[in-house]
Amino acid sequence: MQEASVRVAAQRTKRKMATAHGAAAVIADPAGVRRRLLAWYARAKRDLPWRGAGDPYPVWVSEIMLQQTQVERVKEFFVRFMARFPNVEALAAAREQAVLKHWEGLGYYRRARQLHAAAKQIVTDHEGEFPRSVAGLMGLPGIGRYTAGAIASIAMDLPAPIVEANSRRVLARLAGHDEPVGGAGDEPIWQIAAALVPSKKAGAFNQALMDLGAMVCTPDRPLCQRCPVASCCVAKQTGRVDRIPVMAAPRATKQIREVAVVVRHGDRVLVERRGPGEWWEGLWDFLREPAKKARDKAIGHVTYTVTHHRIECTVVERTSRTPPWAATQQRWVKVASLAALAMTAPGRRIARLLAVR
C-alpha cells in the first residue's frame, strides 16, 4: 500500500513538472503498460473482419469507414464494400456513382469520395503501393494524422502513435490528464501516445489501446476491476476516472424546416444530383423548397440529422403536365428504379415512402 502511494505521489510530481513546462503528462511504468496491454490484447481482442491481413488496403478502408461510425455498423458495410472493391486497383477503376452506392447508409459521403480519389492517386502516382511513412500517407486525400498512424502501425508495424476517441480516453486516464481534449486540446495526448508506442508490435499495441477503450475503459462505468493497467492509471489511483477525460461543451443543434418535392410525370419522378459543397455532394435526391413556399398536400414527413443540424422535412407531391425534360443534374426515374441510384439518406427514405403508396 505504501509502495502504491509513493508511486502515485511520484506520478503527480512528474505530471506537475511536465505541465509547468507545457508538455504532456508522463505515464508511470511505460514498459509495464506496454507489456500488460499486449498480453491482454492477445487474449481479449475483438474479432473484426479487417484485422490480421497485414495489407494496408483493408486497414485503410476500415479506418475511413470507422470515422464517426460505430464498429458494429461498419462490419456489415466493410464486408460488402470489400467484395465489390477487393483491392486498391478495383476501387480506383470504379465509377464514383458505384462507390457512393456501396457507401450508401454509412453517411458522411465525403469520406467515400476522398477514398476514391486517394485510390486513384495510389495507382497513378505510387504504382498501386501505399506510401510507407506517416508523412507520405497524409499526402493522400482524406488521410489525416490518426488514419495515417493507424495504417502505418497496423499494416506496416511502424512505431506511429494514434489518438482517436477510445485511445484518447485510455491515455488521458492513464496519465491523469485533466485538461479539455479534442481538436488542439489533443496535442498533449498525442505526445503521450508517441512516448508510449513501442518500436515493435506497434500495430497490436495501438489496437489494444482502442479495444481497451471500447471494452473496458468505457466513457461511463468503466470496468476498472478488469483493466490490465489499472495499477498504472493516475485517474484510477486519484479517484478521477469519472472526470477524465474532460470534454469540450458540445455545439448547439440548429433546427431547420424544409420541404421535399416529389414531382411526378406519369410513372416517373424527378430527382436531382446534389452539387459541389452541398450536403451529400454527388448523390441523388428529391427537389427542395423553403417550408414557407410549399402549397402542395403533404404525403409524409422525414426527420434527419446532419452534423449539428436537425432537419424536419415535409414531403409533398406535385404532378407535372409538361414533357419529361430535366436540367443537366436532374433525371426522370421510375419509382421502381430509384433503388439503383446512389441516394441521400432522406432521399432513400422518401423513395421507400413512394414505394408503398
The set of catalytic residues is 63
| In the block, residue with C-alpha cell 507520405 | 136
Helix, strand, coil shares of the chain as percentages rounded to 5? Answer: 50, 15, 35
Residue in 313, 306, 315 with CA at minimum distance from that of residue 254: 306
Terminal Cα distance for the chain, rounded: 71
Say if residue 245 is preceded by a cis peptide, omega within 30 of 0: yes
Backbone angles phi and psi of 246, in degrees to 5? -90, 115
Strand 254-265 and strand 309-319: pairing?
parallel
Backbone angles phi and psi of 5, in degrees to 5? -65, -40
Q: Would you give the DSSP letter of residue 337?
A: G
CA-to-CA dists, residue 50 to 147, 151, 155, 236, angstroms: 14, 12, 11, 32
Cell numbers at residue 328, please?
443537366
